Amino acid sequence: MTSDYIDANRANWDERATLHAARDGSGYGVQRYVADADALSDVVRFDLPLLGDIAGRRTVHLQCHIGTDTLSLARLGARVTGLDFSENAVVEARRLADEAGADIDYVQADVRDAAKVLPRGTFDIVYTGIGALCWLPSITEWAGIVADLLAPGGTLHLREGHPILWSMNETLPGLSLAFPYFEQSTPLEWDDESTYVEVSAPLTSTRTYEWNRGLGEIVTALLDQDLRLDALIEHDSVPWEALPGRMTQRPDGEYALAAQPSVMPLSYTIRASKPA
């Protein structure tokens, strides 16, 4: 049954990738990365203080989508490989890299197969960005893949939407917890023709499936792989309007609660390392 969920999600992301990569100013506005050789995504720019100097570092970006963050990592000097399960996403990521003159390797594969299709134990950095973990059925399986890919002394850099945020129902009044915080075997099912950025057409593969898990479950899964937790930082912002009508956009592109921004975490960053 899990394969059915993943297949439905893949069909949805194949559509999203094409729409997100539009050259008409909609979607991710990818033309700016071609027009400006120094352009970085807002997500990677936010990550800079914790990423540090990544020049020359062998980096794999898991669930890379159309490659805007991947390209940004390459522009910081990393030697980057991007991986995504969507064929269209990989096509668009390669197209963007070519247009931007960037040397990036892309691999199409389910992240659960990453350690089978990529060289194990060779990456200095495993990078995972916003909105990735919710598409995976098992956080324990994911943590094992991260550990398998990292070279001794290598580092995981993860920034994600906070499990509290994923538990919120944005359609209810106030800040209302309505969905599971802890990982469940059965995913939440959604049916939505829209996506999280403005696009030129509605989706037709509208059904998707997501899994949440608590912050403790994520940290414990990494510790169980003998990774060392180096940093866990909770943030009061996210890079999209996660709760429409209740957020304000900051100058750095991040969205925060318009009222009482300190009342709940909206995202978090984890840095974890593999012993040398």
pLDDT (tens digit per residue) in 165-196: 999 998 888 899 999 999 999 999 999 999 99
**Does the pLDDT of residue 274 top 90, yes or no?**
yes
pLDDT for 237 equals 98
pLDDT at residue 174 in the model: 83
What stretches of 162-249 adopt beta strand conformation (E)? Answer: 188-191, 207-210, 228-235, 237-238, 247-249
Q: How many CB atoms sit inside 10 A of residue 123's CB?
A: 25
- In this prediction, what percent of the chain has a pLDDT beyond 90? 96
- Predicted confidence band of residue 13 (pLDDT cuts 50, 70, 90): very high
**pLDDT at residue 101 greater than cutoff 80:** yes
CA distances from 203 to 13, 17, 27, 35, 163 (A): 10, 11, 13, 28, 26
The per-residue pLDDT for 172 is 86
Tell me: pLDDT of 23 over 90: yes
**Which is it for strands 237-238 and 79-84: parallel, antiparallel or unpaired?**
unpaired
pLDDT of residue 173: 84
State the amino acid at position 18 in one-letter form. Answer: T
Please state the rounded mean pLDDT for residues 237-266. 95
Q: What is the pLDDT of residues 70-81, one digit of tens each?
A: 999 999 999 999
What is the distance between the alpha carbons of residues 72 and 261, in angstroms, rounded to a whole number?
A: 28
pLDDT at residue 202 in the model? 93
pLDDT on residue 1: 74
Mean pLDDT of 127-143: 97
β-partners of residue 161 are: 267
Mean pLDDT check: name the lowest of 11-20, 56-65, 169-178: 169-178
pLDDT digits (tens, 9 = 90+) for 194-250: 999 999 999 999 999 999 999 999 999 999 999 999 999 999 999 999 999 999 999
The model's pTM is: 0.97
